[in-house]
Amino acid sequence: MPGSRDTSFIPKHTTGKTEKSKIPRQLFLGTILVRVLFFSVMIATAGVFFYERKLSQELAVEIGSFRDATKSFEADEEKLQTVLAMDKKLAQASDRFYNGISVASILKAIEVSTIATTRIENLDISRESDLELALEAKILTDSFDSVLFQRSILEQSETLKSVELEDVSISIASQPSGTPGAIVRSSGSKEVSFSMLVDLDPTSVPALTTAQSDESDEILIPVAPVNSEPVASEEASTEVTEPEANQNNI
């Protein structure tokens, strides 16, 4: 029919070129950033959640281990007391052992440092503490020269070098001395008396046991059992009782 070309029910043959709808995709940079941010946040949230959970579990395990360890320590209270008691006893024993002094050594030092013309009337030794050891002696002799000589001898002594002489006085002796080895005096003879004060260094006169231990570098182990008889070996008596030239002067 003329003028109605488009009214036929027969589909028209097209040229093969479909006409695409051209809708522009508007993908802005801001949109990308927002989406990256969002998904990053979501991933980070999940990561943080699970990591925090893992740390919580780890902390719980560590706390459990710590509690077990402290319980184990508390359960060992008896062991601790045993160790502390032994440590205390050893410390005290060591303290006493190494702070012991030898009065026998002091007497020996005095013997060696006493000249033949002097005689010790009185000797006082006092130990106020482990660090303080004082010696005071009242000595008689025949002249001031002897006093000076005695002082020079004492000052040469390793043990008695910090000596002070006091109360030096002269008097007339009234009685003869009957002591063998002492100064020879007769009625009317002059007698010079003086006091000797010495501050001794306790480490210079260690106890015999300590000195022997230091020499042999061994620990002292008393041999006798508890509550036994005290040791009285023969060597003990022979070591210290060697005759000295001036031993009768005291």
Partner 1 sequence: MIGNSLLTQVGIAGLAIGIIVTYIQPTFTEIKNRQDEITQTKEELAKVNAVNQRLNLLYSSVNEIPQTDRLALATYIPDELDEVKVLRDLSIISGQARLLVTNLKYSKTGSRSSGQTDTTNATVPLPKVHSFDLSFTSPYESLKEFLSLLEKNNYPLDITEASIAQEDSGQMDVVLKINTYSVK
Residues 137-176 that bind partner 1 (CB under 8 A): none
Q: Does 225 bind partner 1 (CB under 8 A)?
A: yes
Name the region of 182 (left: φ>0; alpha: ψ -120 to 50; beta: rest): beta
Number of residues counted as binding partner 1 (CB under 8 A):
94
Q: Which is nearer to partner 1, 165 or 202 (CB)?
A: 202
Q: Does 7 bind partner 1 (CB under 8 A)?
A: no
Q: Does 41 bind partner 1 (CB under 8 A)?
A: yes
Interface of this chain with partner 1, residues 205 to 224, rule: CB under 8 A: 207-209, 221-224
Instruction: Give the nearest distance from C-beta 162 to partner 1 in angstroms.
Output: 18
Q: Does 76 bind partner 1 (CB under 8 A)?
A: yes
Among 97, 115, 151, 204, binds partner 1 (CB under 8 A): 97
Segment interacting with partner 1, rule: CB under 8 A, options 53-61, 141-149, 163-171, 183-191: 53-61
Segment interacting with partner 1, rule: CB under 8 A, options 13-21, 98-106, 161-169, 188-196: 98-106
Name the CA dihedral angle for 37, 39, 41, 42, rounded to a multiple of 10 degrees. 170
Among 23, 92, 165, 215, binds partner 1 (CB under 8 A): 92
Instruction: Give the nearest distance from C-beta 195 to partner 1 in angstroms.
Output: 14
Instruction: Give the nearest distance from C-beta 235 to partner 1 in angstroms.
Output: 9
Q: Does 184 bind partner 1 (CB under 8 A)?
A: no
Q: Which is nearer to partner 1, 172 or 226 (CB)?
A: 226
Interface of this chain with partner 1, residues 107 to 126, rule: CB under 8 A: 107-108, 119-126
Q: What is the 3-state secondary structure (H, E, C) of the chain?
A: CCCCHHHCCCCCCCCCCCCCCCCCCCCCHHHHHHHHHHHHHHHHHHHHHHHHHHHHHHHHHHHHHHHHHHHHHHHCHHHHHHHHHHHHHHHHHHHHHHCCECHHHHHHHHHHHCCCCCEEEEEEEEEEECCEEEEEEEEEECCHHHHHHHHHHHHHCCCCCCEEEEEEEEEECCCCCCCCCCCCCCCCCEEEEEEEEEEECHHHCECHHHHHHHHHCCCCCCCCCCCCCCCCCHHHHHHHCCCCCCHHHC
